[in-house]
């Protein structure tokens, strides 16, 4: 099966947070009172013959608000989901709150990091630059994948920078015909930004963590911030996300050979399998003596992170595994590294995949 999916580490939780806040939903009425923003969603969602628009990477926050039917009532809430609920509350309470603007910014920033190639920095002030270089070097050696993998950082500051915002609008907003019009629209948005305390500073506007078959990995500042606010060390949060997304590249590479996923009944089960395997493999890399060499204390923090980012949308196509399942996947990855590294070797991606198959249905689900 050809995998076209974009895997977003925190998306399940994003759904969850919105559902948590759904009690506020009835109070929301949208009024488009921004003259420069006439239905900005429409041009972004048009699917014409151009390579910029890919429905697979778009989602509308307006749609996911209706996803609460997917919720498994027995699944627990986590500290992480509470932090995210706080961000959403802040957005919803802002005097400049506007669903279309929210959607517009999320789309622009996601598309920008999807198509951008060039200089990069990681973390709001580049605080993860050194770590990124180190981990990329380690992961490249550890898995030996035959593909070019590159990491784009996503920043809320992109949406507050006149040139970058204009680039985004010119490239992705089909209602704009030329750069002059893009500048005009950017300036009207910057005027809103200047008055609002959440547009675009709120971490939600740089909340992506995903990967694509092209070799692209994206890690947003916002998701890093949310994890550190949950009490997780920033280096662990960054390394974990990078290792998790890196494993999706292995899944892309071995797509033809690893056929277990083809037997799964529906997209929801396939996503859950891919995500839990990525947690398992990330844990293997992080704890391996020839990987990130995390000691037990740091691995425990990884377990905590894995638990926190689980979601409860068990029927959703974007379900990444419940907190308990994600925690279990991480623990088995650690055990695998502990058993294998006594012999001092690194298992190949296919061996790790096979090791995961042995525990997946019996012990993780």
Residues that bind Zn ion (CB under 5 A): 7, 275, 278
Q: How far is the CB of 275 from Zn ion (least distance, A)?
A: 5
Residue nearest to Zn ion (CB): 7
Contact 45, 173 (CB under 8 A): no
Dihedral, CA atoms, 128, 131, 132, 133, nearest 10 degrees?
Answer: 130
Contact 222, 204 (CB under 8 A): yes
Cα–Cα distances in Å, from 348 out to 52, 250, 365? 35, 10, 24
Q: Which is nearer to Zn ion, 181 or 269 (CB)?
A: 269
Q: Which is nearer to Zn ion, 199 or 273 (CB)?
A: 273
Preceding amide of 216 cis, omega within 30? no
Q: How far is the CB of 212 from Zn ion (least distance, A)?
A: 12
Q: Which is nearer to Zn ion, 7 or 242 (CB)?
A: 7
Q: How far is the CB of 357 from Zn ion (least distance, A)?
A: 18
Q: Which is nearer to Zn ion, 18 or 242 (CB)?
A: 242
Q: How far is the CB of 331 from Zn ion (least distance, A)?
A: 18
Q: Which is nearer to Zn ion, 167 or 275 (CB)?
A: 275
Q: How far is the CB of 304 from Zn ion (least distance, A)?
A: 18
Q: How far is the CB of 18 from Zn ion (least distance, A)?
A: 19
Q: Which is nearer to Zn ion, 7 or 219 (CB)?
A: 7
């Amino acid at each position: 099966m050809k995998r076209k999916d974009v895997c977003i580490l925190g998306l399940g939780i994003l759904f969850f947070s919105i559902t948590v806040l759904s009690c506020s939903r009835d109070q929301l009425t949208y009024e488009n009172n921004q003259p420069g923003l006439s239905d900005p969603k429409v041009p972004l969602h048009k699917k014409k013959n151009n390579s910029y628009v890919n429905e697979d990477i778009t989602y509308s926050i307006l749609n996911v608000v209706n996803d609460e039917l997917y919720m498994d009532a027995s699944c627990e809430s986590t500290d992480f989901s509470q932090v995210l609920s706080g961000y959403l509350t802040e957005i919803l309470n802002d005097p400049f709150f506007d669903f279309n603007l929210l959607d517009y910014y999320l789309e622009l920033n996601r598309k920008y990091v999807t198509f951008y190639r060039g200089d990069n920095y990681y973390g709001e002030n580049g605080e993860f630059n050194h770590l990124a270089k180190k981990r990329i070097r380690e992961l490249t050696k550890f898995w030996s994948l035959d593909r070019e993998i590159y990491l784009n950082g996503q920043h809320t500051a992109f949406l507050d920078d006149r040139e970058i915002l204009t680039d985004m609008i010119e490239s992705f907003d089909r209602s704009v015909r030329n750069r002059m019009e893009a500048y005009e629209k950017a300036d009207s948005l910057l005027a809103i930004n200047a008055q609002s305390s959440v547009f675009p500073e709120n971490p939600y506007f740089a909340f992506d963590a995903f990967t694509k078959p092209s070799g692209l990995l994206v890690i947003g500042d916002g998701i890093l911030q949310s994890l550190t606010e949950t009490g997780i060390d920033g280096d662990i949060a960054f390394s974990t996300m990078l290792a998790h997304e890196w494993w999706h590249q292995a899944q892309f590479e071995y797509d033809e050979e690893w056929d277990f996923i083809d037997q799964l009944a529906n997209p929801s089960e396939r996503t859950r399998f891919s995500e839990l395997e990525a947690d398992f493999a990330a844990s293997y890399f992080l704890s391996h003596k020839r990987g990130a060499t995390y000691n037990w204390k740091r691995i425990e923090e990884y377990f905590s992170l894995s638990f926190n980012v689980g979601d409860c949308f068990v029927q959703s196509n974007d379900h990444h595994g419940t907190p308990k399942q994600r925690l279990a996947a991480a623990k088995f990855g650690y055990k695998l590294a502990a058993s294998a590294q006594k012999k001092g070797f690194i298992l190949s991606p296919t061996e790790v995949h096979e090791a995961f198959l042995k525990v997946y249905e019996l012990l993780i689900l």
